[in-house]
Structure 1
Amino acid sequence: MSEGQSAEEQYVGPLGLVEALDRPEPPPAPVPDAVWHFGRHLNPEEQGQADYVPVYDATAWVYFSNSRHGLVRPVLLADGFNSGPSKLDELYDGFENGEYPLISELRGRGRDAVIFGFGDRTASILDNAAYMTEAIMKLIAERRGDEPLVVGGFSMGGLVARYALAGMETESIDHQTALYFSYDSPHRGAWVPIGLQAFAHYLKRGNPANGALSDQINSTASRQLLWRHIEAVGDIPGEDKARGDFLAALESVGNWPMRPRKIGVANGRGDGLGTGIEPGGVAFRSTGLLFPGTTLYAQAEGDDALVAELKANFGQDETVTTDGLPAIDGAPGGTLNSFEIAANTLNGLPFGGAEAPVPEICFVPSVSAVDVCDLDTTELLTTDIGSLPPERSALDDFLCASDNERHTKITAELCEWIIERL
């Protein structure tokens, strides 16, 4: 949670973009009724040390609805993309202590909440889907009775669950899941501004110690998620090979699971109304001595659109333009405070200094979260989703938020809609 962010604006599992260092520590989560680990990485140099802590590929933290009854009606809630491993305290805090107490509401309705996290949230979606497959089989084995499972996730977690369930069906494995859900998941891709990607790589080129943001953008999962990506300053934005391979892998398992009912929600509006960001307007500017004159601009459509002027005392100046991209920063969708995080990063450096006139932009367009169309044009991005026939989406039912709000924000509007369909 960045400085000034209220509890109601907490979010779970977005593309974290190396969140602000001043984010306060969340309160400790209640002790789970069960903890299951999947996979394990052993570091030979640390084995045998008294304080050695093994690293697992995935973990499920289980909260029974009734501890006397054990696991009866499980709902798996998968984390999304960010740096490093999933952390229970952060996840529980985001689910429970915002606008809507999701964990309490699930347990109060007789549902067992299973929070599923990854050992590396930047690893391949396909690899993490394999661990989710193990978790689903563990749920089936531990469940008392035959109540069908509910399986889904937030942001990237929705894609991990989608692939895991579809893959199990392809392998004729009975996943015993009646309902799949996604929460602001980028089914058609997510967006990080090209100017910001270029600036992240520019920072690392000048000083590898400032490479965390660049490394995150170039991680495997990020390449799979982002609709358009650049690996280095000066690259032409395009679909990364990792994304193409991921989409082909989805295709190989039928794209979607067929047995469960599939529902999804978007943190963006569905009527085509965006956030009002001016295409081509100044979104970020350096105010310090390190990067004098560095300016990032909101994405404009058309050719030769200026998105970044990168300047530094230590290196070569760069001008970054794009061709043929839509005005996506202001599109309706779940938002992320991307430029604000970049400004906070610079403000944390000696002689850095920056401000973000446009602190947050569209991260997961609504049309992506509910899988109705691609992101290629401004017209598509501002589609009036409510006017489309239901079959345009692979989801059996979906809901868009009443307003464009923070990506994966836990709201009563969206959570109650999901819970009603359990």
Structure 2
Amino acid sequence: MSAPVVDVWGPVAPEARSSFPSAPEPHDEWVLGGGTAWVYYSPLNRRQLIRPVILSDGFSSGSSNPDQLWHGLEENGDYRFISELHATGRDVIILGYADRTASITDNAETAIECIRRALAERVGRSKLAVGGFSMGGLITRYALAKMEQDPSLPDHETSLYLSYDTPHQGAWFPIAIQAFTHFATDNWGDTPGIGPVLRQFSGLLNSPAAKQMARWHIEKADATPEQTSERVAFLEALEEVGGWPRSPRKIGVANGVATGTGNGIKADATAVRCDGDTLHDTWLKTQAKGEQVVARLQRSGGEPVSVRTNGLPEIDGAPGGLFTVPSPAGDTGSFGLAGLLMGLLGNTVDPDVITTSCFIPSISAVAAGDISDPKALYQPISPDGSPLDAFVCAGRNEGHTTMTEELGAWIVNEIAANG
């Protein structure tokens, strides 16, 4: 049994991981110190690297999967992003990593190597466009900023930086689900079949990259939600290189709306509940303001564990990219994934489940506010409220990193207009 994982194109259920059709053979493949770059030349450029666009993978378990990345860019929405870039004469370099859970700053070294390779392979003097999807936007943001600040590194010769639903101000993964995952791992992590699933998922939540991205994190079920020392150190490292690259034009998009309208999920609602062979009256709630019991966890025959939070915003229902999990049985989400794990542990899950939640708030994706501010989460986003030179938010709250014509075409037009 394979573990459910959170991927740059949205989480992927175990049975869906092998279902991606093979990507076309790249025209070139660069083996880098911490990953691989797959190069697809525009048909207009006769297999020469003339106008490079580097697109970085984001957070997930294990190494980058080129078939999945191609699927996400070309076939996971209503817009064929690579084909449209090729039509403008842009050569696409898809950047993947050997370990997508590694520190953002570590994978940024691989991004820097990729940028240097692109400059060395480039024919002519066209500037680069560099960016990424989800955490890939943070990796390339840091990489470009470091190249500007470190005198030992060359000019990145990049005229455009782009991010696609990137957690610039942090990501949200419900504390109730983090607590349940760690609780289940502590109790059944050695159980054949389900044990490896639980250990991998708990390990994913506690990985260096997850700790750097999550605005609130707990390592154990009874821990207090907070920013980790790893996140604080990353934010300090980002600040040390100037926060943002200064010379490129900076653009970004969000898979959530800019109007302040939430996704309809109510605060303090029971999202998922189960009872059965291994768990008794166990339930998880959506996040509310003030002091709250956000989860009740009880092993059958054991003592109940209450998971408490205090001072967090009503963020599950906030506008932003949604945590979605595609599967043959139909899309689910963050709380739906918890329900899946409860069922695998031999319990009956109440059918009335709130399946998903906000994953990347809109104000995080366009760096327009503090996601810990309850008012900022639900206020309209001002065009001048972001350090990005331009940004677009989706017309509806949709799945995290969903490729749509609304967002994809805007980016392609920005790249084309930027030389």
**TM-score if structure 1 supplies the norm length?**
0.89
- Contact 1:156 1:186 (C-alpha < 8 Å) held by counterparts: yes
Matches within 5 A, 1:108-119: 108-119=87-98
> Displacement of 1:285 after TM fit?
1.4
- Find the aligned partners of 1:196 and 1:31 in 2 and give their Cα distance: 39
Amino acid at match of 1:345: L
- Find the aligned partners of 2:178 and 2:69 in 1 and give their Cα distance: 27
- Find the aligned partners of 1:408 and 1:225 in 2 and give their Cα distance: 16
- Contact 2:212 2:230 (C-alpha < 8 Å) held by counterparts: yes
Amino acid at match of 1:329: D
Deviations 1:121-144 (A, max 9, x none): 100000000000000000000011
- The secondary structure found in structure 2 opposite 1:339 is helix
1:84 to 29, 40, 62: 62
Deviations 1:200-224 (A, max 9, x none): 1101110222222211110000000
Using a 3 Å threshold, how does the CA distance of structure 1 residues 100 and 253 change in structure 2: closer, same or farther? same
| Deviates further, 85-94 or 278-287 | 278-287
Matches within 5 A, 1:25-104: 25-39=19-33, 57-66=34-43, 68-97=46-75, 98-104=77-83
Deviations 1:371-406 (A, max 9, x none): 111012321111210xx351x211000001000000
1:255 aligned onto 2:248: no
- The secondary structure found in structure 1 opposite 2:360 is strand
1:194 aligned onto 2:181: no
Number of residue pairs matched by the alignment: 389
- Find the aligned partners of 2:61 and 2:274 in 1 and give their Cα distance: 25
2:402 to 398, 406, 409: 409
> Displacement of 1:409 after TM fit?
0.3
1:340 to 336, 342, 354: 336
1:297 aligned onto 2:285: yes
- Contact 2:9 2:72 (C-alpha < 8 Å) held by counterparts: no
- The alignment yields a C-alpha RMSD, in angstroms, of 1.6
- Find the aligned partners of 1:243 and 1:282 in 2 and give their Cα distance: 30
Q: Which residue of 1 aligns with 2:305?
A: 318
Amino acid at match of 1:270: A
> Displacement of 1:344 after TM fit?
2.1
| Residue ranges of structure 1 left out of the alignment (5+ in a row) | 1-10, 40-56
Q: Which residue of 2 aligns with 1:8?
A: none
- Find the aligned partners of 2:262 and 2:48 in 1 and give their Cα distance: 45
> Displacement of 1:326 after TM fit?
0.5
1:367 aligned onto 2:354: no
> Displacement of 1:288 after TM fit?
3.5
Using a 3 Å threshold, how does the CA distance of structure 1 residues 316 and 212 change in structure 2: closer, same or farther? farther
Q: Which residue of 2 aligns with 1:241?
A: 229
- Contact 2:321 2:361 (C-alpha < 8 Å) held by counterparts: yes
Deviations 1:91-115 (A, max 9, x none): 1011111311111111121111111
- Find the aligned partners of 1:414 and 1:342 in 2 and give their Cα distance: 30
Amino acid at match of 2:103: S
- Find the aligned partners of 1:60 and 1:282 in 2 and give their Cα distance: 44
- Find the aligned partners of 2:78 and 2:102 in 1 and give their Cα distance: 30
Q: Which residue of 1 aligns with 2:373?
A: 377
Amino acid at match of 2:220: A
- Find the aligned partners of 2:59 and 2:303 in 1 and give their Cα distance: 32
1:328 to 315, 329, 339: 315
Amino acid at match of 1:195: A
- What percentage of aligned pairs have identical amino acids? 46
- Find the aligned partners of 2:92 and 2:383 in 1 and give their Cα distance: 34
- Find the aligned partners of 2:303 and 2:217 in 1 and give their Cα distance: 22
| Residue ranges of structure 2 left out of the alignment (5+ in a row) | 1-5, 190-194, 324-332
- Contact 2:217 2:227 (C-alpha < 8 Å) held by counterparts: yes
- The secondary structure found in structure 2 opposite 1:36 is strand
- Contact 1:346 1:354 (C-alpha < 8 Å) held by counterparts: no
Question: Which structure 1 residue ranges, 4+ long, deviate > 6 Å from structure 2?
Answer: none
- Find the aligned partners of 2:70 and 2:217 in 1 and give their Cα distance: 31
| Deviates further, 348-357 or 215-224 | 348-357
> Displacement of 1:348 after TM fit?
3.2
- The secondary structure found in structure 2 opposite 1:211 is helix
Using a 3 Å threshold, how does the CA distance of structure 1 residues 249 and 227 change in structure 2: closer, same or farther? same
Amino acid at match of 1:13: V
Deviations 1:162-196 (A, max 9, x none): 00000000014300000000000000000000111
> Displacement of 1:149 after TM fit?
0.3
Amino acid at match of 2:407: L
- Contact 1:326 1:377 (C-alpha < 8 Å) held by counterparts: yes
Q: Which residue of 1 aligns with 2:414?
A: 421
- The secondary structure found in structure 2 opposite 1:224 is helix
Matches within 5 A, 1:196-235: 196-208=177-189, 209=195, 210-235=198-223
- Find the aligned partners of 2:334 and 2:405 in 1 and give their Cα distance: 25
- The secondary structure found in structure 1 opposite 2:355 is coil
- Contact 1:32 1:63 (C-alpha < 8 Å) held by counterparts: yes
Deviations 1:221-276 (A, max 9, x none): 00000000011111111110000000000000000000000000000000000011
- The secondary structure found in structure 1 opposite 2:14 is coil
